[in-house]
Each structure stands twice: as C-alpha cells, then as structure tokens.
Amino acid sequence: MKNLISIIVNCYNGEKYLKDNITSVLNQKYSNWEMIFWDNQSSDNSKKLFDSFSDKRLKYFYAEKHTTLYKARNLACEKASGEYVAFLDCDDLWYDNFLSSRINFFENKNFDYSYSNAYYYFEKTKRKVLLTQKELENGQIYDFLAHDYLVTISSLVLKKNIFDEISKFNSDYNIIGDFDLVMKISKKKMHMRYKTLY
C-alpha cells in the first residue's frame, strides 16, 4: 500500500490560480493523496471553484475565523490523515511527477523529509527561472541552509510525525514561518533532495 500524502492547500481569495492549482494535484502520477483545502474565510469564488471539481480525495474546510497564514497551515495539518504532508499554496503548481519522484524517499525510513528545486514564474513576461541548480548531499544540512537557504514551501514533503514533533509552524511569524520550520527540522533530522528538472 502506498503511503498516504496529505496535501495542505491554504486559500484566502485565491480564485485566480485555483483551477490550475487543483488540476496540477489531480494530474499527479502518484494517486494515494488527499487534499486538505483550508478556506481562510475567502470572500471571492474560491469555494465555487473548489466545488466544481469532483474527487473524493479533495476535502474542503472553512475556517471558523480568519487567521494568519501559519496559524491556518497548522489548523489544516490537524485535519491531515496522511503519513506525510506536503504544502502547496493556491497560486503554486506541481509537475505531474512531483510526488511520484519521491518513491525512494517514501521507502527509505532513514530520511524524514525531502525537497526539490523549483521554478519561479513571472506572469507578466511569461518567464520561468530555476531557483537553484545546487545539489546537496543527503544528511543534515543545517549549516549550509543557514548560509544559503533554498527550500520553497511548495517543494517540501515531510513525515507528519516530524511536523508535529518540531512544534509545527510558529504562528507569530507573517512571512518567515516556513524558513523557521525547515531550519528547525534540518537541525535535528535527516534530509534528502530529489531533483525535478525539466
């Protein structure tokens, strides 16, 4: 039985890119996943767009009140049933092999989390720029990341129990909560990187 992956999608008025976002998840070659879609009290057509898709793996949750992004991510993770969690903001997309390229990571119990490189897409110029071509050795890489941080939240996949153990996201932060989480994990746990270049 393949490992269940809980994909955390936080949304606040994200209708502009939401159709492409959900489609990129549905197109994954790896099929054993659930999407935890956390609607942080959107006032646009986000829910209507979400409801236009019909797949039992898509799970919708409406926040009781609007919160910060990192508080919302923590609340969404509480709904996750998977052994692993991944994060995909509603304006981000995955290639269709994003999850399937991590099969070796899922099968190797010595590793606790994985990330890949990523592209930045500039909508106005329709230009795609690779974040990094650096390859890091497997193992603990805290010192490297402290000097040259190159992990995007949408490229991160980690064991759910590690996320809980590290105390989740710090909800006091506005923009660096993912950096804080990854640095705490890299200080204590093992790391593996899988390139997804196209």
User: Which run of H or of E encompasses 70?
Assistant: helix 69-77
- CA 154 to chain CA centroid, Å, is 4
Task: Please state the φ and ψ torsions of residue 171, each to the nearest 5 degrees.
Answer: -75, -5
Query: What local confidence, expressed as pLDDT, does residue 135 receive?
Result: 65
Cβ partners under 8 Å of residue 25, min gap 6: 7, 9, 33, 35, 88, 94
Find the angle CA(68)-CA(191)-CA(81) to the nearest 5 degrees.
Answer: 50
The structure tokens 């790391």 sit at 191
Mean of the per-residue pLDDT values for the chain? 88
pTM (2 d.p.): 0.90
Where in the chain are the domains?
5-193
* Mean pLDDT (whole number) for 47-55: 96
pLDDT in tens, 57-104: 999 999 999 999 999 999 999 999 999 999 999 999 999 999 999 988
What per-residue confidence (pLDDT) applies to 178? 92
CATH of domain 5-193: 3.90.550.10
Can you spell out the DSSP letters for 72-101?
HHHHHHTT--SSEEEE--TT----TTTTGG
Q: Record the tokens describing residue 91, joined without a space.
A: 């304006």
Write down the pLDDT at residue 140: 65
**91-144 pLDDT, tens per residue?**
999 999 999 999 888 888 888 888 888 877 777 787 877 776 666 666 667 888
